[in-house]
Amino acid sequence: MSLQLEARQEGEVRVLVLEGELDAQTVGPFDKEMEGCLARGEVRIVLDCRGLAFIASAGLGVLMGVLGPVQQAGGTIVLAGVQAEVRRTFDLLDFSSLFPFADSLGEALRLAAPAGGQG
């Protein structure tokens, strides 16, 4: 299993569901998906991380790589339901301030929607 990836559209928001563990072995499909969003101009992104148990720097590298372009295009990347251990990795790299974290998927969708966090 390692990493399961699922994408769906919710109004103007692209939702990516991550389940499993994100490391250099499993990061490929996630990278491709994020680059695809960027290429298609789908820059309001929610990552549903409730099922994500682990993230290595390879996963953070992808996120950091797309964050700038996403923001320049007026978009955002909201992280929903991040588990404590995944959050810890963001904290260790001082990356937590760069992303909105939402406890629930609903809150994340509100933050990512046009009227929401990017106001």
Residue ranges binding another protein (CB under 8 A): 2, 21, 23-25, 54, 56-58, 60-62, 64-69, 84-85, 88-89, 92-95, 98
Residue 68 contacts residue 74 (beta carbons within 8 Å): no
- Closer of 95 and 101 to another protein (Cβ): 95
- Closer of 26 and 102 to another protein (Cβ): 26
Q: How far is the CB of 106 from another protein (least distance, A)?
A: 28
Q: How far is the CB of 59 from another protein (least distance, A)?
A: 10
Q: How far is the CB of 101 from another protein (least distance, A)?
A: 18
- Closer of 10 and 23 to another protein (Cβ): 23
- Closer of 28 and 106 to another protein (Cβ): 28
Q: How far is CA 25 from CA 4, 30, 34, 68, 84, in A?
A: 13, 11, 16, 24, 22
Q: What's the rounded Cα separation, in Å, for the pair 7 and 18?
A: 9
Axis crossing angle, helix 57-72 with helix 27-39, rounded to the nearest 10:
0
Q: What sign results for the dihedral spanned by CA atoms 84, 35, 32, 60?
A: negative
Residue 14 contacts residue 77 (beta carbons within 8 Å): no
Q: How far is the CB of 38 from another protein (least distance, A)?
A: 10
